Each structure stands twice: as structure tokens, then as C-alpha cells.
Structure 1
Amino acid sequence: MKLLKFRMAGWLIFALALSALIFALAPNQIPVSLYKINLIAMAGVVGYWLDRSLFPYARPDSFLFAETPHDTSVDGGSLDFDLEVAVQSNVLFATAQIRRAIIVAASMIAVGLGA
């Protein structure tokens, strides 16, 4: 079954079921839910770009050694990338990824608490 192979399909079904429940119990709250979802999504984008602009020379992909795809099929197949971290850069690569995740999460939390 193709739907079950979709990443996080269970959570998508759960979110749609909750949305249907909100629509059945309080249909006037649907615009509020859409507004909050939009705010959180935009906060994630702003957090990502904030990280890119604050640390232009320490982006996570700058510590990768090679990014050449093994399989470049475009017929619906996924690309299999070989992501080798450059020698002596494992800690820097992990730190850059964690830093970006923290900045994006902090911006989403800040917007979520303020909305």
C-alpha cells in the first residue's frame, strides 16, 4: 500500500482526524487553526533563514566531503545521496546541525507562545 510508505503517514491521518473532529465540534475554530499552523510554518522558515544569515560560513553542508547521487532516476524513485563528512569534521558537522535545529525550534516556540 503506497500510502503507508509515505513518511509520517500515521501522523498525517491523525492530524486529519483531529481536524475533522474540530470541524464537527467547533467549525468556527478552523480559521484559527489554519492561522496558527501558518504562523508556526513561517516561524520555521524564518528560523532556517536566520541560521543561514547568522552563520554563512558554518552551514552543515559545508562540512560534507561529497554529495554525488548514486541513483539519479527521475521516474518517481528517490535519490540515494552519499553524504560523507570530511575528515576531522564530524563534530563540526553535528554541531552545525544541532545549532540549526535549536535556532529553528526556538523561533517556532517563540512564535507559538506569542500567538
Structure 2
Amino acid sequence: MRDERLQKMVLISLVCLLLVALVAPYQLPLVGYKLGLVCLGACTFFWLDRIAFPYSRPGSYLLKPWQEVGDFIEGQADYKIAYGYEMVFALVCCRRAFMMSIGGSLGLALGL
């Protein structure tokens, strides 16, 4: 099921947070501060990406708007990419992921 895809990661994160709480509870505010900085950096760079490249969003290279795609079919792509734009779509997705990861890394580094 699609709703369960991140449950393992959430569970692992909660176990790690519980371990920090058991070993060093005085570090919990710092952990929250660092997570906040990473999220803020990633969100900021996501919006910078949207502002800097307004016509080069990943959704603009899909065959149909993603809102119009109905059912999920096992073993097939969720959204079909426009023919001939597969490489451009991959590069746009990589650019956005790179911008968000740089933002997250920068947010964490500024908090050190």
C-alpha cells in the first residue's frame, strides 16, 4: 500500500529519538533545533528553486497533469512523462533534490 511507504523510516526516527531521550535527555532541545534548521533550509531552497526556475518544474514535463491521473496500477509509473523529455525530467528532479539537500545541509551547518 502507498500509505505505508515511510512508516519504517518514521519508526526508525522515533526509536533514535527515544534513544537520545534515554541517554541524554538534555540534548532533546538541541536535536529539535537542528531538525528545525534542516527543514527550514530545505524549504527555503525549495522555494528558491521554484522562484529561480518558474517554467522548469517537474510537473510541467508530465504527459497529463498529475491531478488528472486516477488510479494506481501496480508495476507501472504513477505519472507518464511527455515523450522525448525523459532526460529533461530527470535533470529537473535532480536539480530540485540537489537544491533541497544543499539547503538542508546549509541549514544544519549554520546551526553548528
Aligned residues: 104
Q: Which residue of 1 aligns with 2:103?
A: 107
Q: Which residue of 1 aligns with 2:57?
A: 59
Measure the CA separation in 2 of the matches of 1:65 and 1:87.
Answer: 8
Which residues in structure 2 correspond to 1:64-103 (within 5 Å)?
Answer: 64-67=62-65, 68-71=68-71, 80=72, 82-103=78-99
CA contact (8 A) 1:70 1:82 kept: no
Tell me which stretches of 4 or more aligned residues in structure 1 moved more than 6 Å.
none
CA-CA distance at 1:21 after TM superposition = 1.7
AA aligned opposite 1:106 = I
CA contact (8 A) 2:62 2:82 kept: yes
Q: Which residue of 2 aligns with 1:74?
A: none
Structure 2 unaligned spans of 5+:
none
Of 13, 21, 32, which residue of structure 2 is paired with 1:23? 21
Of 46, 71, 89, which residue of structure 1 is paired with 2:44? 46
Measure the CA separation in 1 of the matches of 2:9 and 2:80.
Answer: 31
**1:3-59: per-residue Cα shift (whole Å, max 9, x none)?**
xx7223222222212211211221111111111111111111111111100100111
Measure the CA separation in 1 of the matches of 2:69 and 2:81.
Answer: 15
Structure 1 unaligned spans of 5+:
72-79
CA contact (8 A) 2:69 2:79 kept: no
- Higher share of residues assigned strand: 1
Cα RMSD of the aligned pairs, angstroms, is: 2.0
